[in-house]
Amino acid sequence: MLRWLLLRAADSEFLAESARGSATVNSVVERYVAGETVEAGVTVARALAAEGMDLTLDHVGEFVDSMEQAEQAAAVYRDVLERVGEAGLPAGVSVKPTQLGLLVDRDGCAGLVEDLAKRAAAVGVHVTLDMEDHTVTEATVQLVEEAHALGSVNVGCAVQAYLHRTPEDVRRLTRLGASLRLCKGAYAEPAHLAHQQAATVDRAYLDDARYLLREAAEPRFATHDHRLVAAIKREAAVLGRERHTYEFQMLYGVREDMQRALVADGYRLRIYLPFGSQWYAYFTRRLAERPANMTFFLRSLLAAGRPDRTDRPAEAGTEQTW
Binding site for ligand FAD (CB under 6 A): 130-131, 158, 160, 181, 183-187, 222-225, 249-251, 254-255, 272, 286, 289-290, 322
Handedness of CA 101, 102, 107, 112 (dihedral sign): positive
**Is residue 127 packed enough to be buried (19+ CB in 10 Å), middle (13-18) or exposed (0-12)?**
buried
| Spatial distance between the Cα atoms of 184 and 245, rounded to a whole number of angstroms | 21
User: Which one, 114 or 132, has the nearer CB to ligand FAD?
Assistant: 132
Is residue 96 within 8 Å of 317, Cβ to Cβ?
A: no
CA 17 to chain centre: 23
Radius of gyration of the chain (CA): 19
**Beta carbon of residue 54, minimum distance to ligand FAD (angstroms, whole number):** 11
Is residue 100 within 8 Å of 57, Cβ to Cβ?
A: no
Of 54, 58, 130, 169, the catalytic one is 130
Catalytic annotation present for 130 = yes
**Beta carbon of residue 284, minimum distance to ligand FAD (angstroms, whole number):** 10
H-helix or E-strand spanning residue 318: none
User: Which one, 86 or 256, has the nearer CB to ligand FAD?
Assistant: 256
Of 181, 268, 270, 285, the catalytic one is 181
Is residue 315 within 8 Å of 60, Cβ to Cβ?
A: no
User: Which one, 28 or 40, has the nearer CB to ligand FAD?
Assistant: 28
Catalytic annotation present for 11 = no
Which residues make beta-bridge pairs with 271?
Answer: 55, 250
Q: What is the DSSP string of 189-225?
A: --TTTB--SHHHHHHHHHHHHHHHHHH-SS-EEE---
User: Which one, 199 or 264, has the nearer CB to ligand FAD?
Assistant: 199
Distance spanning both ends of the chain, measured CA to CA: 18
User: Which one, 68 or 168, has the nearer CB to ligand FAD?
Assistant: 168
**Beta carbon of residue 181, minimum distance to ligand FAD (angstroms, whole number):** 6
**Beta carbon of residue 251, minimum distance to ligand FAD (angstroms, whole number):** 5
**Beta carbon of residue 313, minimum distance to ligand FAD (angstroms, whole number):** 28
For the annotated catalytic residues, the residue numbers are 130, 181
